[in-house]
Structure 1
Amino acid sequence: MDRSKKSINHYFIRALLLSLIIHMAFLFSHFDFKKNNLIGVNQEKKIKIVLIDDEKRTSDKKVEEKKRQIVNSSQKTPVDEKVDSKFLGKTNQLFERQTVAKQIGSFKDAGLGVEHGSDWLSNKIQNIENPIIKPKTKKINHMLSKEKISLKDLLVNQNMAKQIIANKETASKGIRSGDRLKIGPSMNNDFIEDVKLGDFTKLNTTEYKYFGFYDRIRKRLEQFWGNSLQEKARKLQARGGRIPAGENKITSLKVTIDKMGNITNVFLKSTSGIIELDEAAIESFKQAGPFPNPPKGMIENGYAEIEWGFVVKS
């Protein structure tokens, strides 16, 4: 009976997690340098979490409208003039048609191949072109090591490698116009609405000088967001909760960092309506920090505030 119950619970959790298309939205572009909003910054190793009330949220509405979203996008030769776009990015980019990658995951451009290519072949190509070099170790049995590798084995492996690379363009996963130096389909995890899906993420962006710092934060968060969400999904299931289908659940945080990049405060600016999702967002940020070496231009009076959104689509 216990085994059957555990099996059902495990199936529920897997079904719930697989039904969630997870995006991390980056809904910020400016820092608010308001020292009077910093609460508890002198408390060592303590992070204060605050829910901003509706009155405060309404008063900030005009400021919010001016903010633009920082996104990842495929890079071509940057345009010289400034691009008037709702998106901020690494460089000034202008495309005839904007699209967002269909697959969700850490940002990457598509590799050369075909849409329904082989995952196995893609992995083989990646291993051949980017071999893992193991550290040298002392040989305990020199004669035995020689017997294990024959000339025939070397020739077979070389021929196999040549065949795999020769079939790269037609058999590995990717697209016909993909990058020869990339493997697999294009991916993106920015939460972007009103832009059509495509084989690449091509967005018109205005160059943002602090993009590199945001990108570092993004990559750190990607390491913790998924695991934290899985843990909270189990908690949600345990209390009999669920995420309504077809809804975007957005948790918006305002995070204060000091000049060393340490997190000093986390404000829950707006809730997703599901406490477990809010907790996952907060815990992910706490685990991802600190964020060393923030650009000096972003710091005022020793602190800066970053706004970050976490989105779960079901």
Structure 2
Amino acid sequence: MAVLRAILCSFMFHFLVIVGLIWLAPKLQLPEPEVIEVTLSDEQKIFNALKPKDRSVVRQAVVPEKMKLPEDETLARFLSEQKQRVKEETQAAKSGMTQNRSNRESTVNKPEPAPPKVAEQKKQQHNTEDVDKDGYRNVDISKELAEMKRYNDGFSSVGESLPTDVKVGSFTALNTDRYLFYTFYARVEELIRYRWETRVQQAIDQFDRIDRINAGNRNWVTQAEFILDRNGNLRSALIMKSSGIKNFDMAAVNAFKEARIFPNPPQEMVKEDGYIHLVFSFTVRYSPPALVNRN
């Protein structure tokens, strides 16, 4: 009888243990890790996905008044600081931060303001000489000459890679519409341009003779996406389209990494995922110096 009781107790004990384990198993099971699906697309699909749904942002370049047209309601293909319409779209031949010569104030031979008495004497002199002996009236073109001088001082340059149908000219003139977040984009460019250009030059300095020949006289374009948090701190960078030269690609990424912080981003730029997504295109056109073969 004692043996039977022991067997029965053992059976009940093991039965309760099994039932308890079955009940506790789902509660003790670790949650399955979240799976993020990553799909690698071919380069052309990536490039098509990166084509801006909106228009390209370009740095504002002030053009001479005679080149402007009245503003209209047509849609310009570029966005910038101000709305502007021009008679013909052109781009400066020289690369660099986009600026026209009119933005560069001349500091050489800048005339000092005339003393009040001298200014009054000049005014009286102009009044008495309004009409010369042949009956022709004198015309004051000092304003036009001053504007011309400003355009002759320094040089014009363009910092963006523009469509091929924008012909090369003496300065940059583009049809633009006002972009709400232009100031932030301009600050980002100012923070990264020098860093990027420096790293590109370092990459070129490391070229051997064959590299210089192969890299010369063509465009090397890197397309990259940079993820910022809502405070403007760089969180990640992704090369979406390689230029074909690794050091050129890394020059773009490392320029952003070195700058690291892009202060005061507009909160309207924050997407649903809580981050700001910036897509930039970096174009290098290298013209190697003349190379002479030595036998």
TM over 0.5: yes
SS of the aligned residue for 2:202 comes to helix
Deviations along 1:74-108, one digit per CA (max 9) or x if unpaired, are 33689655441221111221111111112222222
- The aligned amino acid for 1:303 is Y
Q: Distance in 2 between matches of 1:287 and 1:83?
A: 40
Residue 311 of structure 1: which of 283, 286, 289 is its match?
283
Which residue pairs with 2:53 in the alignment?
A: 66
Give the percent of matched residue pairs that are identical in Structure 1 and Structure 2: 25
TM-aligned CA deviation for residue 214 of structure 1: 0.3
SS of the aligned residue for 1:85 comes to coil
Q: TM-score under structure 1 normalisation? A: 0.58
Which residue pairs with 2:107 in the alignment?
A: 126
CA contact (8 A) 1:250 1:312 kept: yes
Alpha carbons of 1:309 and 1:59: their partners in 2 closer, same or farther (altered >3 Å)?
A: closer
* Structure 2: runs of 5 or more not aligned: 1-33, 111-144, 287-295
Q: Distance in 2 between matches of 1:236 and 1:67?
A: 37
CA contact (8 A) 1:110 1:199 kept: no
Q: Taking CA–CA contacts closer than 8 Å with sequence separation of 6 or more, which of the two structures ends up with the larger relative contact order?
A: 1
Which residue pairs with 1:215 in the alignment?
A: 186
Verify: 1:92 aligned to 2:79, yes or no: no
Aligned residue-pair number: 211
Q: How does 1:1-314 map to 2 (within 5 A)?
A: 53-55=40-42, 58=45, 61=48, 64=51, 66-75=53-62, 81-111=72-102, 126=107, 178=148, 180=150, 183-192=153-162, 193-237=164-208, 241-242=211-212, 243-300=214-271, 301-314=273-286
SS of the aligned residue for 2:283 comes to strand
Alpha carbons of 1:62 and 1:220: their partners in 2 closer, same or farther (altered >3 Å)?
A: closer
TM-aligned CA deviation for residue 196 of structure 1: 1.1
**Could you tell which deviates more after superposition, 251-260 or 188-197?**
188-197
Q: Distance in 1 between matches of 2:265 and 2:252?
A: 21
Q: Distance in 2 between matches of 1:94 and 1:237?
A: 46
Deviations along 1:37-83, one digit per CA (max 9) or x if unpaired, are x9xxxxxxxxxxx9x84348627736625242111243368965544
Alpha carbons of 1:176 and 1:313: their partners in 2 closer, same or farther (altered >3 Å)?
A: farther
CA contact (8 A) 1:99 1:203 kept: yes
SS of the aligned residue for 1:216 comes to helix
CA contact (8 A) 1:98 1:202 kept: yes
SS of the aligned residue for 1:187 comes to coil
CA contact (8 A) 1:106 1:187 kept: yes
- The aligned amino acid for 1:190 is E
How much is the aligned-residue C-alpha RMSD, in angstroms?
3.5
- The aligned amino acid for 2:95 is I
CA contact (8 A) 2:243 2:249 kept: yes
TM-aligned CA deviation for residue 266 of structure 1: 0.1
CA contact (8 A) 1:256 1:265 kept: yes
CA contact (8 A) 2:60 2:82 kept: no
SS of the aligned residue for 1:126 comes to coil
SS of the aligned residue for 1:186 comes to coil
CA contact (8 A) 2:86 2:175 kept: yes
- The aligned amino acid for 2:282 is F
Higher Rg of the two aligned structures: 2
TM-aligned CA deviation for residue 233 of structure 1: 2.0
Alpha carbons of 1:178 and 1:215: their partners in 2 closer, same or farther (altered >3 Å)?
A: farther
